[in-house]
Amino acid sequence: MSWTDMAVNGRVLVVDDAMENIQILHGALQDEHEVLFAMDGPRALEIARTQQPDLILLDAVMPGMDGYAVCKELLAAPETSDIPVIFVTALKSPEDETRALGAGAADFISKPVNAAVVRARVRTQLTVKRQRDALRALILTDALTGVANRRAFDERLDAEWRRCGRAGLPVALILVDIDHFKLYNDHYGHQAGDATLVQFATAMRRAAARTQDLVARYGGEEFAILLPQLDGRGATGVAHRLMTELEQMAIPHAASPTASRLTASMGIACMVPGEHSIPADLIQVADALLYQAKAEGRNRYKLGGADCAA
């Protein structure tokens, strides 16, 4: 089985302060899964945030930060709260198991471990996680266009705001509105309008193609492009690529007073999150700039925000 296949089968993080225990669990799982390891709580949290394992096997008793404290931190952080945890520990009493499950663990395995039991428990938790992730994807996806919906956008903006705030990195946002879309629907019909929304969403995904970029349907014919770790110059580049995509697609819009083809207006805001700012501030700036782009004739973008110098 290739490394890629093992990653598809699930990335498992093993956390234990004893290397011999890590080696035992690695030996049990390495044929089916990509296995990462950490020997203390802080390192485990760092790997969980940066490498996003599908499952964590966590020792309860470790010096310094124990497994219960690690589990609490994982649950508190939006980027790691959905990662299931199996406690693997020498503790054996019903009270210990109850405490682990009460701390948020999905399962509990006592040491010394049985390799077949570990593999079976891991497969079960990974299956449950895949089913949960698939359901969540349906809940967070716009049914028509296939991009993220408003709920997904709000959750992701909050998470990226926190993450970029901790790192002192910018967050850029482009609010996009299709020009005169009501006239488009009136002229061509709502079925054609729906097909055009799908094409428009595809164009946005081509323009914002980084893994961390998020394209979302914000409402009706309005969309949002969330660009973590991108400054004004980078965000302007995304907006320019979208305008180029629309030019090349050349979707006719005979009812538009702006152009004979489909066009869009955009407001671009960029901020480095701080203790006195909230995600709504970024949206407010982008929305005001979108309104300005429309007022100045549409088919253009306007850039602004405290940290949005291009």
- Catalytic positions are 221
Cα 137 to chain centroid distance, Å, stands at 11
DSSP state of 4: H
Q: How far is CA 9 from CA 56, 126, 212, in A?
A: 14, 8, 22
d(Cα 25, Cα 116) in Å, to the nearest integer? Answer: 11
d(Cα 273, Cα 116) in Å, to the nearest integer? Answer: 47
Which positions ≥6 away from 309 have C-beta within 8 Å?
Answer: 231, 232
Whether residue 72 contacts residue 58, with contact meaning beta carbons closer than 8 Å, is answered with: no
DSSP state of 171: E
- Bridge partners (DSSP) of residue 156 are none
- Bridge partners (DSSP) of residue 56 are 13, 85
Q: At 66, is the secondary structure helix, strand, or coil?
A: coil
d(Cα 152, Cα 233) in Å, to the nearest integer? Answer: 26
d(Cα 74, Cα 86) in Å, to the nearest integer? Answer: 13
